[in-house]
Structure 1
Amino acid sequence: MKILVLGGTAWLGRTVAREALRRGHDVTCLARGSAPAPDGATFVRADRDEDDGLAPVSGADWDAVVDVSRQPGQVRRAVRDLRTAHYVFVSTGNVYAAFDALEQDEDSPQRAPLDGDVMEDMETYGEAKVACETAVLGSGATATVIRSGLIGGPGDWSGRTGYWPWRFAHPVADEVVVPDDPDFPTAMVDVRDLAAWVVTLVEDRTGGVFNATGATTRLGDVLALAAEVGGSGATPRPVPLDRLTELGIDNWMGPASLPLWISDPEWRGFATLDTTRAREAGLVLRPLRETLTDALAFEESRPEGDERRAGLTDVDERRVLDATG
């Protein structure tokens, strides 16, 4: 098949392109060129923010287009300018209007679409993706929309899925700071499993809207597995939620944060999704241990200066341990 990946040089898009190449497809990656395309792919340098940015590929007939953009204008121009039999758009669970319930399905209420072509900041990420979905579903081609949960595994630049095995592998003491909320519901999908499923959807030309993430798993169970993967023998030190707040520790992502966890009860179901449709359509997930093991290997291989965007530094870890001992 002749597949155009809009992107194809960053994490998920690159993994999709590599999987499609592995299966023998003809892959073209269109991107600005901040990173190289996978070996074997045709690379087209272009700026999708330009109105005619897709001109280099708009004259071809594509069997499928795979798009991961968060900018509605980019997606609208792609729908307008590209000739394809099948359009796969990777969206997000952030499109849903509320997150107080666990494992909501694809028919749950959504946010209003972003009014405009440009998402200015992450505060409107969900609304921007809704606008992108609307464009794709109205394209006239067979369309697939994948509402992904947290993507994890090797290459996770954010560190959300690699932090816990890394911290247990590199403790500053014999205990590791964790939130005292072991029943918090977590879920993640390995980037390689998501990419493989994207290519399968392309090959089968499967249309529809699908949630995609891993099995709902207690935070306490994830931490126990991360400790085993880390292998240092350090054990968790649960810290009450109000004490973490007093000490300036945030949740989910960002400086001085504890990943995979959100303290606000209205967001308790944020990470979880009902994936019945996706599993029926061929989504296959590897064991969580493998994802955490390979995320740790990625963390260990980070080049100097490439710092994760989640978790506690050694200084913050020691500060919390000293304050709660």
Structure 2
Amino acid sequence: MRLLVLGGTEFVGRAVVEDALVRGWDTTVFHRGTRPAPEGATVLHGDRLAEGGLAALEAGEWDAVVDTWSAAPRAVAAAANLLAGRAGHYAYVSSCSVYAYPSPAGSDEDWPVVEGDPDADATEYANDKRGGELAAERVFGARALSVRAGLILGPYENIGRLPWWLNRIARGGPVLAPGPRDLPLQYVDARDLAAWTLDAVAEGLGGPYNLVSPAGHTTMEGLLDACAAATGSDAEFRWTDPGTVADAGIRPWTDLPVWLPPGEMHESLHGAGVARAVAHGLRCRPVGETVADTWEWLLSVGGEAPRRPDRPRVGLDPEVEARVLAAG
């Protein structure tokens, strides 16, 4: 396979490139050049939003393209238009955020989606992702694959969700653990997403697929216990009910990454139906493996994960945590 990855140096894109290279695929990475691409890939440079920024892609043919873009949909449209006739398949890494909110637990790819404009500049994340899907579909039709990812964790994470929990638990002592303990979580390891996506383009799949683990792949307790095991921490989890967390002004998902209290938002973000992807080979590794590998990577980069500048910082203020723990 001749693969072109638009991106390919960070998180999901990097996982796709590394997997493709292990498969022996002829892999080309197109990116701005601000970070090194995985060794073994052919490298092309350009800025997708700059005038003439796609010049390096004006020649060449590929069996498949994987595009991880998450801003202005017009960048996807420009790339798809340029590659029309020279690429066999176009996989766009989208998001379950494209679904109209709220989506009930178990809802699948047929649930209504938000509006999107394939020629638009950046607006809102969900609309941008939908616009990217439409841009790829407009050019590639049935040869366009929309990989609607849910929460993504694993090595190279550049949002900071799992890295924050790992660093907090590694420090030990009492840790505010948001309950309930058995709260089901749904996420996908970036490497499992990459493997499924490459299998899918090789198979020629098209259309939308929710790409996230089955709901309840682990629980909040399972995730935090895995963090303690990976770090060798003596942390003492103080399980705290959602009402107490809310009363303290602590924001789910942002102050306490990954976690959402039971209810409408939890169902929407931790309850997507994934039968279609599972039927086409989705396999998700155990939470302990994802957590341990992320900790190993985090240590290799000095304990502080690189963060995307377009995303807010995550994690709970230590003073707020201490105040809630003391009150309990």
TM-score normalised by structure 1 residue count:
0.89
Question: What pairs up with 1:63-102 in 2 under 5 angstroms?
Answer: 63-70=63-70, 71-82=72-83, 83-99=86-102, 101-102=104-105
Do the aligned residues in 1 keep the contact of 2:118 with 2:134 (CA within 8 Å)?
no
| 1:289 corresponding residue in structure 2 | 288
Task: Pick closer, same or farther for the CA change 1:307–1:88 going to 2, 3 Å.
Answer: closer
- Structure 1 unmatched ranges of 5 or more: none
CA offsets, 1:254-288, max 9 Å, x none? xxx11111248331221332111111112221111
| 1:168 corresponding residue in structure 2 | 169
CA root-mean-square deviation = 2.3
Deviation at 1:305, TM superposition (A): 6.2
Between the aligned partners of 1:178 and 1:36, the Cα distance in structure 2 is 37
Between the aligned partners of 1:136 and 1:275, the Cα distance in structure 2 is 22
- Other structure's SS at 1:310 match: coil
| 1:156 corresponding residue in structure 2 | 157
| 1:130 corresponding residue in structure 2 | 130
Do the aligned residues in 2 keep the contact of 1:113 with 1:130 (CA within 8 Å)?
yes
Deviation at 1:246, TM superposition (A): 4.2
Between the aligned partners of 1:9 and 1:56, the Cα distance in structure 2 is 17
- Other structure's SS at 2:127 match: helix
CA offsets, 1:220-265, max 9 Å, x none? 3333343343432333212343433443422212xxx111112483
Do the aligned residues in 1 keep the contact of 2:105 with 2:272 (CA within 8 Å)?
yes
Task: Pick closer, same or farther for the CA change 1:300–1:250 going to 2, 3 Å.
Answer: farther
Deviation at 1:315, TM superposition (A): 4.3
Deviation at 1:183, TM superposition (A): 4.3
| 2:23 corresponding residue in structure 1 | 23
- Other structure's SS at 1:8 match: coil
| 1:106 corresponding residue in structure 2 | 109
Task: Pick closer, same or farther for the CA change 1:46–1:290 going to 2, 3 Å.
Answer: same
Tell me whether 1:57 sits opposite 2:61 in the alignment.
no
Do the aligned residues in 2 keep the contact of 1:153 with 1:162 (CA within 8 Å)?
no
CA offsets, 1:62-108, max 9 Å, x none? 21111011220100101111121110110001001123521320000
- Other structure's SS at 1:19 match: helix
TM-score normalised by structure 2 residue count:
0.88
Do the aligned residues in 1 keep the contact of 2:298 with 2:304 (CA within 8 Å)?
no
| 2:260 corresponding residue in structure 1 | 262
Deviates more, 1:56-65 or 1:263-272: 263-272
Question: What pairs up with 1:137-216 in 2 under 5 angstroms?
Answer: 137-140=137-140, 142-171=143-172, 173=173, 175-216=174-215
Task: Pick closer, same or farther for the CA change 1:81–1:51 going to 2, 3 Å.
Answer: farther
Task: Pick closer, same or farther for the CA change 1:311–1:144 going to 2, 3 Å.
Answer: same
Do the aligned residues in 2 keep the contact of 1:100 with 1:268 (CA within 8 Å)?
no
- Other structure's SS at 1:9 match: coil
Deviation at 1:164, TM superposition (A): 3.0
Task: Pick closer, same or farther for the CA change 1:156–1:304 going to 2, 3 Å.
Answer: closer
Paired residue for 1:119, among 122, 126, 141? 122
Task: Pick closer, same or farther for the CA change 1:170–1:304 going to 2, 3 Å.
Answer: closer
Do the aligned residues in 2 keep the contact of 1:99 with 1:268 (CA within 8 Å)?
no
Structure 2 letter corresponding to 1:46: G
Deviation at 1:57, TM superposition (A): 1.3
- Structure 2 unmatched ranges of 5 or more: 308-312
Do the aligned residues in 1 keep the contact of 2:74 with 2:118 (CA within 8 Å)?
no
- Other structure's SS at 1:162 match: helix
Do the aligned residues in 1 keep the contact of 2:103 with 2:111 (CA within 8 Å)?
no
